[in-house]
Chains A and B, each alone.
Chain A
């Protein structure tokens, strides 16, 4: 279409009026403007506004909010408490997703499984937390089943502590990493593996030498997305965890500053610190990714 535009201006001998066509073509790109403007106004601008606001604390110098955050162990401790939740969960979810996706891609009724897995994502963290409160509770079905099979003597405590939040993050996070990994692995040309199989490579060698190197870049991106998502855990940490203690996550600290102390400047500073940790992590992972293979995942013959 771009060629047509160029040719119609250089060769005005065509039957239709070129000026109209040209204007129409320019107009198409302009269709982008309202949406782009909206995002700039309500995503980019608030972020910059928050950044500026965070340097204008209620009291103290321009770094007041940040020194306040980093001098209070109850506040800067939230970073560690959140990382302690988010990092193991993310590693576990990825470690589970890859072998399962390797098996599921050959499954005939794949859609049924993916539909069930998309349920926790759709229902959202609030509902998952509410369900787990009953399910993992001392009288819940999980503890009952474990006692029935004689695996434990008395109910184990899984709610209002670290493990409740951990489990909820696996329930909502695993389907997300799994579906991303599945779409990635399904994109690899099966001919590559068939060729290796013909030459006598066993499944684990085919995985280690063919599939894994091909998915590492995509896996790194999935890892980033999953970590950033887990790092911003909020409702389940409050509902299923101990928001005053071991699951006092950074997003809860930010919400508290905004809605309980009405200190938007401090809340913005905490949000900026949160974003900084997230971007820093993504930068680190993507930097490491540069060391691996990048290129087509299709077969040799096009």
Chain B
């Protein structure tokens, strides 16, 4: 009996030790990038010799980050708006109606989330090249919509299910038309969910490498693709300016994540949690 207690304690300690080890490694990995981007020379020591901001100026000029950032947020913005525009009505229909073939429609929306982007990205890019959209901004936007639109639909369904249909019925009874019902009742009630879905769609688009890589041309690269190319061609550029770019990329993703986490639980980013928020 006593032996069992000792073993259980040991097991618990081992599990927590691993959690700490993992977290420390993730933080250290991110810290390496940040420290290197501010360092002058960093060879054979724990920390760089001195610190400087000049790599940011260098990276900004070398990689034309102004242009790249503009393109990135134009693409991400378009993806967010379009997936909300098409996704919310679809989520509303799925949350409120039972119709024959509904499971099939659910599968249709789940598949682009489950099949890895690189698998469907190659044929998708082929089609986009054939119609002449690949290499343009619209090609990248369309490719990114393929997983983001279903993501918005799936994320919005529970938010819509939470709204009591009686609220809508009451608005109808008092004579609200579809437009007023939508803008004065549904949108305000859905705002937290809509905001969460939009922010997470933003994060996904900014950090989506595979699809953008497969469909972007030189003038429609997003930050993450530019980062990949600069690492791929490493040796030409100073490592520190690549890391400066990586830090800028981190910032452009994490801002949205931090705001989004005010509205959703981190587990919701990977899983649809059944527990409804109180």
Contact = CB atoms under 8 A, between A and B. Distances in A.
Interface residues of A, number: 94
Given A42-B124, A133-B231, A122 B254 contact: yes
Interface stretch (A59-67, A189-197, A268-276): A268-276
A182 B269 CA distance: 13
A134 B143 CA distance: 32
A286 to B, nearest CB: 12
Contacts, number: 262
B32 A134 contact: yes
Interface string A231-257: 110110011000000000001001100
Contacts of A139: 42-44
Where chain B touches its partner, the secondary structure class is helix
A53 B97 contact: no
A109 to B, nearest CB: 12
A169 B270 CA distance: 16
B122 A118 contact: no
B271 A180 contact: yes
B27 interface: yes
- Interface range, B side: 35 or more
Contacts of A44: 108
Given A32-B94, A49-B123, A228 B115 contact: yes
Interface in A86-129: 96, 99-100, 102-104, 111, 113-129
Interface stretch (B8-16, B54-62, B70-78, B187-195): B8-16
Interface string B231-254: 110000001001100100110011
A179 B105 contact: no
A29 B93 contact: yes
Contact of A116 (B27, B207, B265): B27
Nearest to B230: A130
Interface string A142-158: 10100000000000000
B138 interface: no
B221 to A, nearest CB: 12
A28 B266 contact: no
Nearest to A271: B122
Given A126-B228, A275-B119, A134 B271 contact: no
B146 A39 contact: yes
B94 to A, nearest CB: 7
Contact of B86 (A38, A45, A120, A127): A38
In this complex, the member of B92, B126, B274 whose beta carbon has the largest number of chain A beta carbons within 10 angstroms is: B126
A65 B249 CA distance: 39
A131 B32 contact: yes
A45 B146 CA distance: 12
A183 B266 contact: no
Contacts of A274: 118-119
Contacts of B30: 119, 123, 131
Identify the interface centre among B116, B203, B254: most chain A CB within 10 Å of its CB. B116
Nearest to A225: B114
B133 to A, nearest CB: 10
B276 interface: no
Contacts of B246: 127, 130-131
B207 A122 contact: yes
A256 to B, nearest CB: 11
Contacts of B115: 228, 275, 278
A134 B243 contact: yes
Given A35-B90, A118-B257, A127-B250, A140 B224 contact: no
Contact of A40 (B18, B92, B108, B261): B108
24 contacts: A29-B99, A30-B93, A32-B89, A32-B93, A38-B145, A39-B112, A43-B146, A44-B108, A46-B120, A53-B123, A103-B15, A111-B265, A119-B254, A119-B257, A124-B253, A134-B239, A135-B29, A142-B28, A179-B271, A232-B119, A251-B119, A267-B126, A271-B118, A271-B122
Interface of A: 1-2, 24, 28-32, 34-36, 38-40, 42-47, 49-51, 53, 96, 99-100, 102-104, 111, 113-135, 139-142, 144, 171, 174-176, 179-180, 182-184, 186-187, 202-204, 225, 228-229, 231-232, 234-235, 238-239, 251, 254-255, 258, 264, 267-268, 270-271, 274-275, 278
